[in-house]
């Protein structure tokens, strides 16, 4: 995540909202409103980060090369020991990042290459 001063301020605001939410009756009307507000702010930060990263990657280049990872395959198989990694991958919106990158490359006429994940470290 790109932590600008604005994003840091929003994260502090989210922490304050979490403290406020913790003092409300769970699943009550006010609790639900604060809970929705927290996650709406967090999603907006994530979307902004994705947009900024895609802009940095696509600015001034003719081609973009990305590894073609199967995110669904990486998160579904395994056991309970992968739970935190799965949650982190879903929260970071890797699929959304890849979709926006492809969309931006197509719109600006930049070639996007997908490299197979197998045997890429071998020469």
Domain boundaries, the chain: 1-59, 62-123
The predicted-structure confidence for 83-95, as pLDDT tens digits, reads as follows: 777 777 777 778 8
Distance CA 34, CA 2 (A): 25
pLDDT value of position 106:
94
The token duo for 5 is 């001063």
- The burial of 108, by beta-carbon neighbours within 10 Å (0-12 exposed, 13-18 middle, 19 or more buried), is given as exposed
Distance between CA atoms of residues 120 and 123, nearest Å: 8
- The fraction of the chain above a pLDDT of 70, given in percent, is 88
Supply the pTM of this predicted model. Answer: 0.72
């Amino acid at each position: 995540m790109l932590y600008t001063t604005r994003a840091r301020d929003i994260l502090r605001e989210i922490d304050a909202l979490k403290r406020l939410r913790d003092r409300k009756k769970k699943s009550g009307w006010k609790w639900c409103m604060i809970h929705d507000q927290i996650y709406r702010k967090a999603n907006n930060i994530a979307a902004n980060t994705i947009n900024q990263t895609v802009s940095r990657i696509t600015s001034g280049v003719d081609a973009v090369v990305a590894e073609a990872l199967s995110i669904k395959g990486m998160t579904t198989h395994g056991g309970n020991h992968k739970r935190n990694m799965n949650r982190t991958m879903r929260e970071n919106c890797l699929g959304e990042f890849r979709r926006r990158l492809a969309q931006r490359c197509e719109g600006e006429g930049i070639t996007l290459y997908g490299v197979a994940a197998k045997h890429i470290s071998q020469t």
